[in-house]
Amino acid sequence: LFQKAIAHSDAVFVCSHYLGEKAANCGNKNIYYMPCFVNLDRFQVDDKARDELRKEWGVNKDEIVIGYSGVLWVGEGVAVLLKAIKMLLEKRDDVKVAVMGVNVPTNVMDDPAKIAKELGIERNVLVIPPVTHERVPKFLSACDILCSPKIDNDVNRATIAIKLVEYMAMGLPTVSSKIGQVSQIITPNYNGYLTIPGDANNLSETLSEIIENLPEARVVGKRGRDRIAEEFSDDVTSRNLVKSILEITNKTK
């Protein structure tokens, strides 16, 4: 039924090239790429919120905060991130990770507080209650490095994570698993950082290198924001959507 619906539609909008190929295999030639997008005016560092939240969290001025914001489904790789943090803490003690996670109705969820306790790093793990989407930029502002540690599976290959787009829009150093279309967005060590999916050791080494070279990493973060402005801003998406609808309309006349 799904394949027939795709095949007989006048046009199909897809959020990734992976899904575009799937739609084309169903027999539809009118495929329009429409990725997730972000409001760049909202997603930028708020210095006041940064200072307030870090004080509330008890973070010292010189400590590095690595942030994660998103659902706690195991496929997001939060457990991998916490294992990487444990390895990182064996080299230095000035690192904390802030996890702001949302539960979804499934029994395959990561419990960051439980995992942190099992790893013996609970002192360095900040489990932040969920906030409304409007307040997400404030949370991200309090972080120094942002991480999307997704594991390799069909779901993650098929999508571009909105969290990745939001992270990069903040202009902060962003680390992501190399999966799906991510490598078409991030140029390694230029506008972001790529790691091997599910490899806590590789993620730990990457985070360590970023921290050791923070001034350079901040320049990389700013280039990441420029990359998002090119393709994933709401302004660019709006123009592309209007252009696509006009094209579809002309084809169906």
pLDDT, tens only, 82-120: 999 999 999 999 999 999 988 877 768 999 999 999 999
What is the residue-wise DSSP string for 76-104?
A: G-HHHHHHHHHHHHTT-S-EEEEEEEE--
Quick one: what percent of the chain has pLDDT higher than 90?
91
SS3 content of the chain, % helix, strand, coil (to 5): 50, 15, 30
Residue 2 has a pLDDT of 87
154-198: pLDDT as tens digits: 999 998 889 999 999 999 999 999 999 999 999 999 999 999 999
Residue 151's nearest CA partner among 177, 171, 132, 131 is 177
Q: Which residues pair with 64 in a beta bridge?
A: 95
Confidence of residue 251 (pLDDT cuts 50, 70, 90): confident
Residue 32 has a pLDDT of 95
Helix and strand element counts for the chain (H, E): 12, 8
Q: How many CA atoms, within 13 angstroms, populate the side-chain half-sphere of residue 131?
A: 13
**Is the pLDDT reported for residue 81 higher than 90?**
yes
89 near 121, Cβ under 8 Å? yes
Residue 105 has a pLDDT of 73
Q: Which amino acid is at 250?
A: N
Residue 103 has a pLDDT of 81
Look at the block and give the residue holding tokens 């994570």.
161
Q: What is the DSSP letter of 190?
A: T
CA distance 161 to 100: 16
Confidence of residue 253 (pLDDT cuts 50, 70, 90): low
